[in-house]
């Protein structure tokens, strides 16, 4: 990966008359006895030491090169460093400089009014462009491969067609279906997919382009300012109590499907009980599998009520909703018939209970009615030792 750098003016080796006097601050040898490279601060060091010094910084992932004199530590301008490395090491110095640029490109922080873009050509470079070009969705040309691409979505130029329409044309139908099922949203600035696992609807994009500088609403997908964290979700007709950004409405979407929205989870489908092989050989486990269910804000966990039909016995469990199923504890008594209901819970509280599952007998023979192989019989006991 190659980085596009901005020229900062000046540059070129500095050759002060007194620079080659004294000792190299790295190897402590007399500078008059070896090729010398002078920095912009007029400190000088051996050409070989400069190469090894920069190589050591690169190998340790450090991206800023400073004067090695402890009392100085003045940054070395990029253009000057490139020229010094070329003078000191020729082709090896140029390769070292490109490695340094690669590390800098990975950690670069765009300045005010700039945006870091990825060229859509695989393995190509990154580049800084004015943020105005991103807002205008203008086309830019990569200085490395010359490909023209959209500054807003970082994909091949798509003329007057919107980024969203062009994306739908490119997208695999299966991927489009998955996005709808998982309710993933795109950052309005860099177009990266974002998933809200938990928390409120005020999103901060963590992508390499935005680096936490872009905020947007997960409900309406409109860009927001940091000051909109609460105001975007409160103080309008349709806002729900004090749930604010944790609710299911915002200023741009005060209702859902024409009705005032509730921010608690909806009623889930009945769970499914099944008997599966346990972790230990010869054991069994009772598995609770969730039915299809999505809510906004998302369900965090399920409360599980495991009952014994015809009795007052109830076992209360809980499990994370991100897992597709939950295996009951090993201590659950066997040879008993069980039935389960689940209650979804999100950041705002608990939703309605599901309908009960079908009754399942927690018995090894139930394995035969599933796709799981029968549990092998417990091996017969043998003598502790034998004689020959």
Within a 13 Å sphere around the CA of 144, how many CA atoms are in the beta-carbon half?
16
The span from the CA of 11 to the CA of 189, in Å, is 35
The span from the CA of 53 to the CA of 84, in Å, is 12
More reliable by pLDDT, 80 or 140: 140
Q: What percent of the chain has pLDDT over 70?
A: 80
For 52-66, what is each residue's pLDDT tens digit? Answer: 888 888 776 677 788
Task: Tell me which of 12-16, 28-32, 44-48, 154-158 is least confident.
Answer: 12-16
More reliable by pLDDT, 255 or 367: 367
Q: What is the residue-averaged pLDDT of the chain?
A: 78
Task: Inform me whether the pLDDT recorded for 121 exceeds 80.
Answer: yes
Task: Inform me whether the pLDDT recorded for 105 exceeds 70.
Answer: no
Burial of 56 (C-beta count, 10 Å sphere; 0-12/13-18/19+): exposed
Average pLDDT rounded to a whole number, residues 159-177? 84
258, β-bridge pairs? none
Task: Inform me whether the pLDDT recorded for 14 exceeds 70.
Answer: no
Task: Inform me whether the pLDDT recorded for 2 exceeds 60.
Answer: no
Q: Which long-range contacts (CB under 8 A, 24 or more apart) does 91-99 make?
A: 92/51, 93/51, 96/51, 96/54, 96/55, 96/58, 97/54, 98/2, 99/58
Q: What is the pLDDT of residue 19?
A: 43
Burial of 292 (C-beta count, 10 Å sphere; 0-12/13-18/19+): exposed
For 261-294, what is each residue's pLDDT tens digit? Answer: 556 788 899 999 999 999 888 899 999 999 877 7
Res. 337 pLDDT band, cuts 50 70 90: very high
CA angle 221, 346, 207 (to 5 degrees): 40
Q: Which long-range contacts (CB under 8 A, 24 or more apart) does 103-111 make?
A: 103/58, 103/61, 103/62, 103/63, 104/3, 104/63, 105/1, 105/2, 105/3, 106/1, 107/63, 108/3, 109/211, 110/211
Q: What percent of the chain has pLDDT over 90?
A: 19
């Amino acid at each position: 990966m190659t980085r596009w750098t901005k020229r900062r003016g000046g540059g070129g080796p500095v050759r002060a008359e007194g620079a080659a006097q004294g000792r190299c601050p790295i190897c402590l040898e007399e500078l008059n006895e070896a090729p010398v490279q002078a920095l912009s601060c007029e400190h000088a060091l051996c050409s070989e030491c400069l190469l090894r010094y920069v190589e050591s910084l690169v190998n340790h992932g450090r991206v800023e090169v400073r004067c090695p004199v402890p009392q100085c530590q003045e940054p070395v301008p990029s253009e000057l460093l490139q020229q010094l490395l070329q003078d000191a090491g020729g082709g090896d110095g140029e390769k070292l400089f490109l490695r340094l640029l690669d590390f800098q490109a990975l950690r670069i922080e765009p300045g005010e009014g700039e945006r870091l873009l990825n060229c859509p050509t695989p393995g190509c470079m990154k580049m800084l462009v004015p943020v105005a070009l991103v807002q205008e969705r203008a086309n830019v040309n990569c200085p490395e491969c010359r490909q023209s691409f959209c500054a807003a979505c970082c994909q091949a130029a798509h003329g007057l067609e919107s980024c969203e329409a062009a994306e739908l044309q490119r997208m695999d139908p299966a991927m489009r279906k998955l996005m709808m099922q998982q309710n993933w949203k795109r950052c309005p600035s860099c177009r990266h997919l974002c998933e809200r696992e938990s928390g409120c609807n005020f999103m901060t994009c963590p992508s390499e382009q935005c680096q936490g500088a872009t905020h947007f609403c997960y409900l309406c997908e409109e860009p927001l300012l940091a000051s909109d964290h609460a105001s975007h979700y409160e103080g309008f007709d349709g806002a729900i109590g004090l749930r604010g950004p944790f609710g299911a409405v915002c200023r741009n979407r005060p209702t859902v499907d024409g009705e005032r929205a509730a921010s608690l989870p909806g009623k889930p489908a009945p769970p499914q009980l099944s008997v599966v092989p346990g972790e230990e050989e010869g054991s069994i486990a009772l598995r609770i599998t969730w039915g299809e269910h999505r809510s906004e804000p998302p369900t965090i966990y399920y409360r599980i009520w495991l009952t014994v039909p015809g009795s007052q016995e109830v076992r209360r469990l809980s499990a994370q909703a991100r897992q597709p199923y939950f295996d009951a504890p090993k201590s659950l008594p066997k040879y008993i018939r069980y039935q389960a209901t689940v209650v979804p819970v999100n950041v705002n509280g608990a939703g309605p209970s599901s309908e009960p599952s079908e009754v399942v007998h927690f018995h090894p023979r139930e394995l035969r009615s599933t796709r799981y192989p029968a549990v092998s019989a417990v091996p017969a006991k043998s003598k502790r030792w034998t004689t020959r």
